[in-house]
Amino acid sequence: MFKPLDLSENDNHNQSVSSEVERVKCLIIGSGPAGYTAAIYAARANLAPVMYEGLQPGGQLTTTTEVENFPGYPEGVTGPVLMEDLKAQAKRFGTDIRWGIATKVDFSGEIHKVWIDEKKLIEAETVIIATGATAKYLGLEDEKKYAGSGVSACATCDGFFYRGKDVAVVGGGDTAAEEAIYLAGLASKVYLIVRRNELRASKVMQDRVFRTKNIEVLWEHQTKALFGDGVVEGAVLWKKKGTPEEEEVKIKIDGFFLAIGHKPNSDFVKDFIDTDEVGYIKTIPGTSKTNVPGVFACGDVQDPVYRQAVTAAGSGCMAAIDAERYLSEKHG
């Protein structure tokens, strides 16, 4: 029998502004390596997944330079290209990928309600939370004062503006090391402000930092304030804060980059989903299951330990398989 083509069915453009309720089998929130991998598996298992990409489509890796540790790319790959590849693979199997941010949830019933952009309501049999984590700030007033005027949490996004200038990166982990090395290729001088007398970064990244001539590591330094007329012109640091040798040091910089870790993006589900004290979603060990049946979590939003693209992708696969098994048990 002839069935008229329902154009609204695959029209992604108006989805997030419609006020009607939509019922889906599997809703994926977030589009990093975890979300896309969950989408690939869910789509291939006929769950017809709908994905909302969130604030930063492609997730944190879209702001990374070279990714050298994702299996399958012997020469390395840039973060944005890797994410485009994952997205294309998710689309190939029919994932319905849309713009929009999940702003509110109600997980009290058997059908899970998720509001997109505070307007559209999705009723989902299963929900996969893959919302990742967001860069942390030190909490200084000056970070807000100079936001967009010299303060940044993304060297690959903003480094371009500091060609030939002096900048500082705060942090001692792999992100800080990576950002400092990236910026050293653009800026004339990079200070790496490290609060302890050692780096947390992996050995290979540490070696690269130490080999880069225009990076100066400021050991046991912490930031007290930033100064400048409208834009950042320098920073006031404490050296050996809280010790008898404590002293104040001023550096002249044009850019101040934060690289001190991330906060999991779980606030919008915290009334229903159990998290740890930092906000990482708790999952039943060895699974992606949360405390709510039919709601699963994967990637950085539930992983305080590994936080790698490949582990995020692996956990996305687990979430889709868990969702598929949940649905087949439910429907018999």
Residues annotated as catalytic (active site), given as ranges: 154, 157-158
- Binder of ligand NDP out of 28, 45, 153, 176 (CB under 6 A): 176
Q: How far is the CB of 147 from ligand NDP (least distance, A)?
A: 17
* From 17-25, 77-85, 164-172, 291-299, span contacting ligand NDP (CB under 6 A): 164-172
Cα angle: 16, vertex 104, 46; to 5 degrees: 60
- Position 174 contacts ligand NDP (CB under 6 A): yes
Buried b (16+ CB within 10 A) or exposed e, 206-226: bebbeebeebebbebbbbeeb
**Contacts with ligand NDP in 227-266 (CB under 6 A)?**
260-262
- Binder of ligand NDP out of 57, 173, 304, 314 (CB under 6 A): 173
Q: How far is the CB of 319 from ligand NDP (least distance, A)?
A: 20
- Position 330 contacts ligand NDP (CB under 6 A): no
**Contacts with ligand NDP in 20-39 (CB under 6 A)?**
none
Distance between CA atoms of 168 and 217, rounded to whole angstroms? Answer: 10
- Binder of ligand NDP out of 79, 132, 159, 171 (CB under 6 A): 171
- Residues 68-97, one symbol each (x = binds ligand NDP by CB under 6 A, - = not), give -x----------------------------
- Position 197 contacts ligand NDP (CB under 6 A): no
Cα angle: 113, vertex 264, 169; to 5 degrees: 150
Q: How many residues bind ligand NDP (CB under 6 A)?
A: 17
Q: How far is the CB of 160 from ligand NDP (least distance, A)?
A: 20
Determine which helix (DSSP H) or strand (DSSP E) holds 88, and give its type and residue range.
Answer: helix 79-92
Q: How far is the CB of 263 from ligand NDP (least distance, A)?
A: 11
The residue behind tokens 């590591």 is 217
CB 36 within 8 A of CB 301: no
Which alpha helices (DSSP H) does 146-228 contain, by range? 155-158, 174-184, 203-211
- Position 310 contacts ligand NDP (CB under 6 A): no
Q: How far is the CB of 75 from ligand NDP (least distance, A)?
A: 15
Q: How far is the CB of 79 from ligand NDP (least distance, A)?
A: 10
What is the C-alpha radius of gyration for the chain, rounded to an integer number of angstroms?
Answer: 22
Task: Give the other-Cβ count within 10 Å of 89's Cβ.
Answer: 15
- Binder of ligand NDP out of 92, 144, 163, 196 (CB under 6 A): 196
- Longest Cα–Cα distance of the chain, Å, equals 86
Q: Provide the residue count of the chain.
A: 332
CB 202 within 8 A of CB 174: yes
- Position 178 contacts ligand NDP (CB under 6 A): yes
Looking at beta carbons only, is 280 or 326 nearer to ligand NDP?
280
Cα angle: 291, vertex 295, 296; to 5 degrees: 90
Distance between CA atoms of 80 and 7, rounded to whole angstroms? Answer: 31
Q: Which residue is nearest to ligand NDP (CB)?
A: 173
Q: Which residues bind ligand NDP (CB under 6 A)?
A: 69, 138, 170-176, 178, 195-196, 200, 260-262, 307
